[in-house]
Structure 1
Amino acid sequence: MSYTDAVHAENEGTARGGVTSWRTIMLVVMGLLGAAVLVGLLITLGGANRQRDRALELQAHSYDVMILARTLSGTIARSEASLGRYVISGDRKLGQLYFDQWRLAASQITRLDNITEDNPAQQRPIDRLRDAYQSRGRELSLTALSTYYGKNNQALSRYYQARKGPSLVNIDKLLDEIIDHERELLDKRTATAMRTVDRSSRIAGVLAVFGILLVLGAILLGWFTIRAVEERANARADADAARALAEELSTAVAEATDELRVQERKLRQVQKMEAVGQLTGGIAHDFNNMLAVVLGGLELARRSVDSDPAAAARHLDNATEGANRAAALTRRLLAFSREDSLKPEPIGAATLVAGMSELLDRTLGDEVTVVTEDRAAGWQVRADRVQLENAILNLAVNARDAMNGRGTLTIATGTILLGKDAVGHCAAGEYVTIAVTDNGCGMTPDVVERVYEPFFTTKAVGQGTGLGLSQIFALVRQLDGEIAIRTAPDQGTTVTLYLPREDNPEPSGEIVSIMPAPAGPTRPLTVLVVEDDPRVMAAALGALEELGHIGIPCDDPFAAEALLDRHGDVDLILSDVLMPGQTGPEMIAALSPRFPHLAVLFVTGFAGDVDAAEFIDRDVLRKPFTLTALERAVAAAMARERPAPPEQIAAE
């Protein structure tokens, strides 16, 4: 072999080696490219799957938020519908149903807050929704309290005003805002998922160009792409189905609300008649019992009046007691219907508590030690004495039950100067405090939050109605005061009433009971009796005659002026309050310019819509009355200062 041949062979071998090395490099590069393509495909498809799963999770979360918001709207609607039926019927079960639905709405707001805690944009309207819910609750609580106290007209008025109240509109607006925001968030998330899938598809297409030599890789890439597209289509279909379901739920809630309103209107008249029937039945039963005592006593007295005067007197006493019980029932009915005016008067807090000592001892039992502390410095409050005594007695009974009938009860009166809103929503000023403290079991915070709610009680069934503290709460608010509770489990309870100090100890001109008056007039009086009921007229004339006075009957208030002109020696006008055509105060107001010197005594058993201010400083005698009460009332009316008669002024 020549040198030239050797060189040629070496060059050829070198060329083959170079081609082989190039092929190896190309194979390695193709393998690396193939591996890169496969890895790129796997990463791209894996990322697309994760984004899809995340998008589906977020979509489901958004649907949960929207469905919960719609459910909350339905719960609030059912609660208010139950309150409306409670206002109409006065049925406590409906009041309890309203309360349960309203508490359910609170738990739904809390759940809505929990599932959106990762979204600050949703937290702000949810916080405002909670505030609007609490504001709405306070409005509806006033309606519930008015219903409980029998103020049906006021409760209905408040209920229909509340239906148009800003808090309800605000709740609906905030719910719509939450749903709209969640729907916008859902649309953004869906668009983001679609963009992610589209970007993944583009990357997969680019990688497919480099994987042409890898047919299997291309087939796999196509298979994964087709699968991703199908899953995206399925996800979109699921989203459309969920959206349709949410709309169906919203429509169902609206239809249910409309149906409840229709049923409420249908049941209103029936419930009203049932309530009237129950009330009249109970009243008739009690009055029949009392009338049986009265009629039986009178009949027995008639039979014994000649043969046994002592027995006749005893039977007459029994009949009188029955009549007094009937009168007391009437007064309780008037108080229940809020038609009997309160009798506010200046009351010394410490004196009131001291005067209740015997009543408290008898009511609470021997195993409860009652301790009173007077730090009121003689300060007074203006309140109805009976209602304030009932409030203190109610607190004492609750304290006894908290101590299981054995322990120490402390009732302390004091004084305090409060700033504005220092306790609840009180105004700034001086207050008298009445604090009732026990060493009983105490209360947990969740119980304290509900103690003022009507129908709420921690006592066993049949041992409490849940109305005591709600009545005290209403009384304190009526007196422009406040109430506070300090308690803890196993550390006892202190309930403190903050009542505004009375600066003016003089009587306020309210309707008050007739107190013992000076001795009666020394001469017979001529009395004009204005009464539209002939039986009451006959009784009044007979009573005046029995007392030695002369009665002039007048059955029409418009005829009183003519009778006064005809009888110039009239000393006193004895007038009913409510009469057809004109009330007693209206008649006296019309007669006063001409007859300012005449004494006036109003007699009434039902003040109705007459404002207490219309009585001015006239005396008021409550029906039914005894001869002694009439004698004292006449003496008190005659003792009041008034102008001299015109003829006396002319003579002077």
Structure 2
Amino acid sequence: CPVAKVLRENRIVDLMNHTLLVSHSGEEVAIADSAAPIIGRDGKRLGVVLVFRDVRDEKRLQEEHSRSEKLAAVGVLAGGIAHDFNNLLMGLQGSLDLIRISCQKYPEKTDVYLSKADRAIDRAVSLAKQLLTFAKGGAPVKGLEMTRLPALVKDSAEFILHGSQIKVEYEIGDNIWGVEIDAGQINQVVNNLVNNARQAMADVGIIIIKIENLKVVKGDYADVAPGAYVKVSIRDQGCGIDPGIMPRIFEPYFTTKEAGSGLGLATSYSIIVNHEGRIEVVSELSRGSIFSFILPAVETSIESCGVAVHEDRLPVEVATGRGRILLMDDEVMIREVVSEMLGIQGYEVVTVADGEAMLEVYRSSLAKGLNFQAVLMDLSIPGGMGGREAIKLLREIDPEVTAIVSSGYSQDPVMADFTAYGFDAMISKPYRLESLISVLGR
């Protein structure tokens, strides 16, 4: 007892551990308490004063920090796996494109099998993106225009709920503000949360999705800055979440689903935090859950903005090209496949394994009057000079060079803001032939 200790020792006493106070409603409030003697002018002790301080925000921040450390630990492993995985996918993706083009004379024999391979690659790419999110290599690549969030949310929800008996009701506020986001990542968040709701409801019932503008003032949240936000809430009529597991639902690989991966909510958490937003859940057993997230916004109403779209599948008319391309990548498979892809389209391709070789080849070609239409550089070269270092030296040789950065993983923000680092364009691995031709043709 702090009072007894003060009376006994006649000094200020702080408790080592937080104390829980229980209100009349049964709510537990974490406090830090201390006690101090009250000393009169004559030096005699008149009494003891107790001080209770609400430390719920501090505890929440500590829990957030602990959760972030766990995610960071997973990120170290996930980043390496995803990097190698994406390189393998790049080789496979390019090979499939080559097969499809070379076998167009016999589409009835090849198209079905190639389409199945495409779907398998799509699933693998989705997994790689989730792993990259933990490693911060999945940093948001924000669009050049504001995104109209209601349209994105509706498209995502309808896609996930296609074929189910669940009805969606939307409550969308007036003049929703614009948000600068990575539309693909936020689409992934909505997919995860709506799919969670669908599974909790066993494909029957109503999901209510609410979108509203929100002004956050100092003191509202301890982990986001004051300002303008857009809030998205997804309410389901499912079974609710056991209070005992609530602190763990955003941890990677934690799942209560028999066939679940445990990545969905952890991925969503990381994406929203990387967007400088906040995600939370309120749940009641047998009544359902409400998952909400907020994203920083600009207080401007927008009527139409670009949102993420799904890529078309080959076969498509891929434009032919002409010119010399210098390709730098440490993976032999990628150099071979991309060289073949571009060669079929009419380009002459020179390949090198690292930045030093790239600079030597470029300087030598320039001296002979042989120009390159573009230089395609891998951002990270283990044990060698990657694109980030090489671009500065390349610009010194030729300030007018067209430089394109490519990566499946990086802890740098280069892919999100490539122009600030000296590049003219970017393309993420694994990429399709038509995407590469499109970038080269800009």
Answer yes or no: same fold by TM over 0.5: yes
Counterpart contact for 2:405–2:418, Cα < 8 Å: no
The one-letter code of the counterpart of 1:619 is A
Which of 417, 437, 441 aligns to 1:631? It is: 437
Structure 2 counterpart of 1:431, which letter?
Y
The 5 A counterparts of 1:525-564 are: 525-555=323-353, 556-559=357-360, 560-564=362-366
> Would the aligned equivalents of 1:145 and 1:454 in 2 still touch at CA under 8 Å?
no
* Amino acid in the other structure paired with 2:400: H
For the residues of structure 1 that align with 2:131 and 2:263, how far apart are their CA atoms? 18
What are the within-5 Å matches in structure 2 for residues 361-376 of structure 1? 361-362=161-162, 365-366=164-165, 368-376=166-174
Matched, 1:571 2:373: yes
AA in 1 matched with 2:213: T
Equivalent residue letter for 1:525: G
**In 1, Cα distance between equivalents of 2:123 and 2:264:** 24
Superposition deviation, residue 572 in structure 1: 1.8
| Alpha-carbon spacing, 1:464–1:109, altered in 2? closer, same or farther (3 Å) | farther
1:429 aligned partner: 227
Letter in 1 for 2:296: P
Deviation (angstroms), 1:595 = 1.7
Query: Among 602, 616, 619, which residue is 2:425 paired with?
Result: 619
For 1:355, the equivalent position in structure 2 comes to 155
Residue deviations 1:198-254 (CA, integer Å, cap 9, x gap): xxxxxxxxxxxxxxxxxxxxxxxxxxxxxxxxxxxxxxxxxxxxxxxxxxxxxxxxx
Deviation at 1:373, TM superposition (A): 2.8
Equivalent residue for 1:587, pick from 390, 397, 403: 390
Paired with 2:339 and 2:253, the residues of 1 have a C-alpha distance of 52
Deviation per residue, 1:527-572 (Å, 9 max, x gap)? 2233344443333333222111222344413413233323443322
- Compared with structure 1, are the counterparts of its residues 340 and 557 closer, same or farther at alpha carbon in structure 2 (3 Å cutoff)? farther
CA distance 1:314–1:486, change in 2 (3 Å): closer
Contact 2:71–2:252 (Cα < 8 Å) also in 1? no
Q: In the aligned structure 2, how far is the partner of 1:490 from the partner of 1:328?
A: 32
Equivalent pairs: percent with the same residue? Answer: 19
More strand by share: 2
Q: 2:224 touches 2:278 (CA, 8 Å); kept in 1?
A: yes
Q: Which of the numbers 381, 388, 396 marks the counterpart of 2:179?
A: 381
- 2:209 aligned residue (398, 411, 423): 411
Q: 1:339 to 1:614 in 2, by over 3 A?
A: same
C-alpha deviation, 1:355, in angstroms: 1.0
Question: 2: distance between equivalents of 1:467 and 1:309?
Answer: 37
Counterpart of 1:240 in structure 2 is: none
How has the CA–CA distance of structure 1 residues 316 and 109 changed in structure 2, closer, same or farther, with 3 Å as cutoff? closer
Larger radius of gyration, structure 1 or 2? 1
Higher relative contact order (CA 8 A, sep 6+): 2
Partner of 2:401: 598
Partner of 1:169: none
Pick the aligned partner of 2:62 from 135, 139, 149: 139
Q: Deviations over 1:48-106 (max 9, x none)?
A: xxxxxxxxxx9xx98xx9xxxxxx98xx8xxxxxxxxxxxxxxxxxxxxxxxxxxxx86
**1:350 Cα deviation from its structure 2 partner:** 0.7
SS at match of 2:295: strand
Distance in 1, Cα, partners of 2:71 & 2:206? 33
* 1:480 Cα deviation after fit: 2.6
Q: Give the Å deviation of 1:599.
A: 1.8
Q: Which amino acid aligns with 1:548?
A: G
Give me the whole-angstrom Cα distance separating, in 1, the residues matched to 2:122 and 2:406. 17
Letter in 2 for 1:349: L
Measured at CA, do residues 151 and 569 of structure 1 come closer, stay the same or move farther in structure 2, by a change above 3 Å? same
Greater helix fraction, Structure 1 or Structure 2: 1
| 1:202-213 correspondence to structure 2 within 5 Å | none
CA distance in 2, matches of 1:394, 1:514: 17
- When the two structures are superposed, what TM-score results if normalisation uses the length of structure 1? 0.47
Amino acid at match of 1:145: S
* Aligned-residue offset at 1:398: 4.7
| Maintained 8 Å contact 1:437/1:494 | yes
The 2-side partners of 1:319 and 1:398 are apart by 27
Aligned position for 2:275: 479
Question: Match for 1:571: what amino acid?
Answer: Q
What does the per-residue CA deviation read over 1:286-338, in whole Å, with 9 as the maximum and x for residues that have no partner? x99x99xx99xx9xxx9x999x8743555555556556655555444434443
2: CA distance between counterparts of 1:456 and 1:331? 15
Equivalent position SS for 1:409: strand
Aligned pair in 2 of structure 1 residues 151, 564: CA closer, same or farther (>3 Å)? Answer: farther
Report the Cα offset of residue 574 of structure 1: 2.3
* Alpha-carbon distance between aligned partners in 2 of 1:377 and 1:615, rounded to the nearest angstrom: 32
CA, structure 1 residues 407+611, in 2 after alignment: closer, same or farther (shift >3 Å)? same
Residue 148 (str. 1) matches residue 74 (str. 2): no
Aligned length: 382
Question: In structure 2, what residue type is equivalent to 1:359?
Answer: F
CA distance in 2 between partners of 1:486 and 1:109 (Å): 20
Q: Which residue of 2 aligns with 1:501?
A: 297
TM-score when scaled to structure 2?
A: 0.65
What's the counterpart of residue 226 of structure 1? none
Q: Is the 8 A contact 2:325 2:347 kept in 1?
A: yes
Unaligned runs of 5+ in 2: 9-14, 24-33, 38-47, 302-307
Amino acid at match of 1:527: I
State how far apart, in whole Å, the 1-side matches of 2:334 and 2:194 are. 43
Q: Contact between 2:176 and 2:212, CA under 8 Å: does it hold in 1?
A: no
Tell me, in whole angstroms, the C-alpha distance in 2 between the residues paired with 1:401 and 1:544: 44
Secondary structure of the corresponding residue to residue 416 of structure 1: strand
Unaligned residue ranges in structure 1 (runs of 5+): 1-57, 66-71, 77-104, 111-118, 154-274, 506-511, 637-652
In structure 2, C-alpha distance between the alignment counterparts of 1:322 and 1:465, rounded to whole Å: 17
- Measure, in 2, the Cα distance between the counterparts of 1:352 and 1:538: 38
Q: Secondary structure at the match of 2:179?
A: strand
Q: Does 1:334 align with 2:113?
A: no
- Partner amino acid, structure 1, of 2:208: T
